[in-house]
Chains A and B, each alone.
Chain A
Amino acid sequence: MLKFLKPALIALGLFAVIATPVVAGKLGIGREATPAEIKGWDIDVRPDGQGLPEGKGTVETGEELFQEKCAACHGEFAEGVDRWPVLAGGQDTLDSDRPVKTVGSYWPYLSTAYDYIFRAMPFGDAQSLSPDEVYALLAYILNMNDLVDDDFELSKSNFLTVRLPNEKNFIDDPRPDTPILAQKKPCMENCKTTVEITGRARIVDVTPDGEKGSN
């Protein structure tokens, strides 16, 4: 009897371990979100313009606002301060040894900058800018990247006409891009005749404060 039961119990046990709950259809949990709630939280902007609010702003107003709200970290000319992000320049550096990735040199879509600035900037005072302010800041950043003239005004209506130069240089993920098992079996014995140390970790101060001594 026991002999008969044991495999059955094991089978049941395994079933219990791997089974995922089966849900057929809606469970009636939650409630409908109201239009007002969605309006308050639906802040994203896409490359096709979906999500862009009405508004406009010039390079000139953007410059003033940038000095007030952004320059402390990003520099007067969007050149970046200390380790804070550089927003302008860097054109023709991407294939160099020290690439500089900015809105002008690297970012593929202007909508990304709109989306990001409103949701996350100024750092520590997010979602505080008006649409006109975001358009103006973008106009100034484009101008600092030599992508628009000094008298340019960015608005919802001309937004999609602005294309960033690096858009075409993004490609889909081609991995795996190193030999897999089917192509090359890893060597196990006598794989090399000599081995030399070619580099050592630089002595850098990775020890945080409080680690030296008694905590």
Chain B
Amino acid sequence: MAGTPKKTNISRRGFLSSAVAGSAALVAGSNPLQAANPENMAPNVPDWSRYLGAGVAEQPYGMPSEFEKQVIRRNVPWLTASTESSVSFTPIHELDGIITPNGVCFERHHAGIAMVDPADHRLMINGLVDKPMMFTMEDLKRFPRVNKIFFLECAANSGMEWRGAQLNGCQFTQGMVHCVEYTGVPLKYILEEAGVKTNAKWLMPEGADAAAMNRSLPLEKALDDCLVAFKMNGEALRPEQGYPLRLVVPGWEGNLWIKWLRRIEVGDMPWQAREETSKYTDLMEDGTSRRFTWVMDAKSVITSPSPQAPITHKKGHTVISGLAWSGRGLIDYVDITLDGGKNWRRARIDGLRLPKALHRFYYEFDWDGSPLLLQSRAVDETGYVQPTKDELRTVRGTSSIYHNNGIQTWHVQENGQVENVEIS
């Protein structure tokens, strides 16, 4: 080889400053602006413009740029007793559009990530059926399949905020949500093979993990729009999302979307499983509890600016970006306020608008550099209006943990830093 072509060396300084910027954004009062390396600035010519980059297939499975290391799932260690029964959060403050990349979809496991060999995985259908059935993964791929984009939100998303503003970052306050395209088989086709008996009313999907996660699901919902999915965003489900098979229950709380799905029993009454009695029930102030609170009400949040994504450009033209979604269908519109709810204006929903999927909204304005109290409020196609946190507390108290879809307030300070606040 005539002369060894020099490969681009990603400068250590550039990498470090990017990583530091990522963490600095979490610390109030620091400036997250990246310091540019003058050697890479015009009129100089940076290394990447001069020398060859890496060849094809250097990374057989591609990963994001080294400068995006801060775009990761994070957990809150004090929240749970062990990481095997815990949750990590989607970095929604770093994402745009409506599709969540597979590698940063939030996780919720009850007994760790089951590593399942698809050759050894089976889906059993039993109970009130004409013929109990067993399906291999190959069998399932012979059914007619569909592609659908849905959000998945944990019922406990924003659950730490019932008693007041707690965490600085929408990754932590609203990040138990993701939205991907699923490829799978309508559950009704699979049930049809077994022949559901006429007295059947409920299903009990069950996981193959060491929690054997189980929930009761009304047959009506299963026949309406549930899927048994094996792909997300075009590739196989990630292990942490239930590889090789998961249930998709559009618009309903994430706990029902059984991962590593191994069995569905058909029955005539609910099972009252642990995750629908001791958990995922909503305790009211008077000591009563709501059960089977499946649907995820309309919700929205401004993802940028937010505590982890401050305004770094000082005053001037500014883009507000956010997410809205409803378990009841489409989002009709999103309004935003800059002044803590004195005046509201319509945001612009951009990109795909699909029922029970994330919607992306924007609002552009000329920021004069004065403090802001930002909120967003979503209204869905059924006329459901996203309530304030105080409206929810008035009805439910502060012990219910689940289904907190209240309006989020971000306080943008003059220096562009953002904090999670509650307002009158």
A residues contacting B by CB (< 8 A) are: 20-21, 23, 25-34, 37-38, 41-44, 46-48, 50, 73, 82-84, 94-95, 97, 99, 101, 103, 106-109, 111-113, 115-116, 119-120, 123-124, 126-127, 166, 169-182, 184, 186-208, 211-215
Contacts and interface: CB of A to CB of B under 8 A. Distances in A.
8 contacts: A26-B192, A38-B124, A41-B263, A175-B293, A180-B384, A186-B385, A200-B165, A200-B420
A189 B339 CA distance: 11
Interface string B163-176: 01111110010000
A204 B166 contact: yes
B399 interface: yes
B288 A170 contact: yes
Contacts of B78: 204-205
Contact of B420 (A97, A173, A201): A201
Interface stretch (B3-11, B17-25, B37-45): B17-25
Contacts of B262: 41
B144 interface: yes
Interface residues of B, number: 110
A123 B212 contact: no
A31 B335 CA distance: 53
A62 to B, nearest CB: 19
Interface string B145-175: 1100000000000000000111111001000
Contact of A194 (B20, B307, B424): B424
Interface stretch (B129-137, B231-239, B358-366): B129-137
B272 interface: yes
Given A95-B287, A101-B283, A186-B344, 10 more contacts: A33-B124, A44-B204, A44-B206, A94-B287, A115-B271, A123-B111, A173-B292, A196-B424, A206-B76, A206-B167
A109 B23 contact: no
A116 B274 contact: yes
Contacts of B368: none
B155 to A, nearest CB: 12
Nearest to A43: B212
Contacts of A208: 74-75, 77
Contacts of B373: 195, 197
A186 B377 contact: yes
B133 A202 contact: no
A94 B126 CA distance: 37
Contacts of A109: 272, 277
Interface residue SS majority, chain A: loop
B286 A95 contact: yes
Nearest to A181: B383
Contact of A201 (B265, B278, B340, B419): B419
Contacts of B115: none
A94 B283 contact: yes
A120 B421 contact: no
A155 B90 CA distance: 46
Contact of B274 (A112, A205, A213): A112
Nearest to A107: B278
B396 interface: yes
B385 A38 contact: no
B254 interface: no
B274 to A, nearest CB: 4
B178 to A, nearest CB: 19
A89 B262 CA distance: 35
A49 to B, nearest CB: 12
B223 interface: no
Given A29-B142, A101-B278, A127-B212, A41 B124 contact: yes
Of B142, B272, B288, which is in contact with the most chain A CB atoms at under 10 Å from its CB?
Answer: B272
A128 B287 CA distance: 35
B421 A21 contact: no
A201 B421 contact: yes
Contacts of B391: 178-179
B385 A73 contact: no
Contacts of A206: 26, 74, 76, 167-169, 172
B52 interface: no
A213 B23 contact: yes
A33 B133 contact: yes
Contacts of B382: 180
B272 A173 contact: no
Given A30-B134, A44-B206, A120-B110, A181 B379 contact: yes
Nearest to A184: B385
Interface string B66-86: 000110001111101110110
Contacts of B136: 30
Contacts of A202: 165-166
A201 to B, nearest CB: 4
